[in-house]
Chains A and B, each alone.
Chain A
Amino acid sequence: MRDLSVFRALLLILTVFMSHQVAASSDTTATRSTALYDDLGGHDGIRQMMETFVLNIAEDERVVHHFVNADIERFHTQISEHICELSGGPCIYKGASMPEVHKGMNISRAEFNAIVENLITAMETHDVAVSTQNRLLAILAAMHNDVIQR
């Protein structure tokens, strides 16, 4: 009996997760809060963090070959704008859609993860709180399918 109630408690925890996720996703569509943008340090904070991110990529032999012909200045500006917009900041990302940008690049699942690791390292370098990191990562992880193997 006691064992079953433990199992039920675990199921209850699972149910709470699910409802939390549903609530979280409806949040983002209803109101556009600038909280994440602010927690990332606003315009300057994001630009600085993205600079570290770009430098991390430049030193990462797993993925740097995708950027050999890229205009690094432009990439830095575009990705900073995109993160600004995604985090609720007052920017409009004017670049191409994610599937278009990555078309023909054939980015593997492992390379996508390497990029994520470079971003996490950049956030850690800039002392971004774990809770803030997770909010940004969740937004970017949703683009996984639009980026890989295009």
Chain B
Amino acid sequence: MKIRILIGAVCLSMSPIAAADFGRLLATGGLTTIEGAGGGGIVPWATLSSYAEQGQWGGTLAYNHANVRDYQLDVAAATLNYDNRVEFSYARQRFTLESLGGELEQAIYGVKYRLYGDVVYGKAPQISMGALHKKNTTFALPNAVGAADDSGTDFYLAATKAWLDGPWHRTWLANLTVRATKANEMGLLGFGGDKKDDYSLVAEASVGMFINRHWIVGVEYRQKPNHLNFADEQDWHDVFVGWFPTKRIAVALAYTNLKTIAGAPEQSGVYGSVQVTF
């Protein structure tokens, strides 16, 4: 799957038909999150993926991989952006249980709508709202540990702002996201559960500093809900480096701490992401 996506991405990026106008500044499309929406690594931002500006189309293809002690996560994702107003995304997640054996999979359909503002221009932040509809296709295990549903929808509101001339005369970026979710471990362990079968409100944040316009370093935080009795869910953090050599390509490398997942502790490790924009 990885090879096929990459070949497709390379073909698309070289095809003149797919050439977009790329009307926004470098890095303003951000990266592709593990849930497919444009953002950082684990937090969706108010920015819309690709470089489409008003009246333009754009899109991205991305492959993300996380390797922590007992698990691996693979994500293939695609996004489409029109008018820098609305973003559609699709992601397929495969979560490999290395020590237990087996896999968990889900598909995520996302939509994000820019409500207000521009991340670079003006004093106010860019504000977007979005929804992520998730369908778990391996529900036997989630069901066995107490999950209520095999599908669910997250709703979020995100505010993102860049300061061109921030501290140390560097460009800084900050994002705050509030999400309503029933998902257990993003939905890989289903939705709702024996402890709580209702929406939880969680907060997420990212802060980054551009060393220059091609390189960003930052941190992310994502609060997690607790719907299952069998194991406590823990909040996620990561520290990332993003590289935007051109508007076509973006690469991210992160050290991520997912702590205890499904009872297995110390799930820290590396995360990598490659994104092609067309």
Contacts and interface: CB of A to CB of B under 8 A. Distances in A.
A20 interface: yes
B212 A141 contact: no
Given A17-B163, A17-B174, A141-B164, A130 B212 contact: yes
Given A7-B223, A14-B174, A144-B121, A134 B165 contact: yes
A110 B54 contact: yes
Interface residues of B, number: 38
Interface in B28-66: 53-56
Interface string A121-135: 000000000111011
Nearest to B206: A10
B205 to A, nearest CB: 4
A110 B120 contact: no
B207 interface: yes
Contacts of A3: 221, 223, 234-235
Given A113-B24, A113-B25, A20 B207 contact: no
Interface residues of A, number: 32
A116 B65 CA distance: 34
Contacts of B211: 130
Interface string A94-110: 00000000000000111
6 contacts: A3-B235, A14-B205, A16-B167, A24-B165, A109-B54, A110-B54
Interface of B: 21, 23-26, 53-56, 84, 118, 120-122, 163-172, 174, 176, 203, 205, 207, 211-213, 219, 221, 223, 234-235, 237
Given A10-B221, A21-B163, A145-B122, 14 more contacts: A6-B221, A6-B237, A10-B219, A20-B166, A20-B167, A109-B54, A110-B21, A110-B24, A113-B24, A120-B213, A130-B211, A134-B169, A134-B170, A134-B171
Interface of A: 3, 6-7, 10-11, 13-14, 16-17, 20-21, 24, 62, 108-111, 113-114, 116-117, 120, 130-132, 134-135, 137-138, 141, 144-145
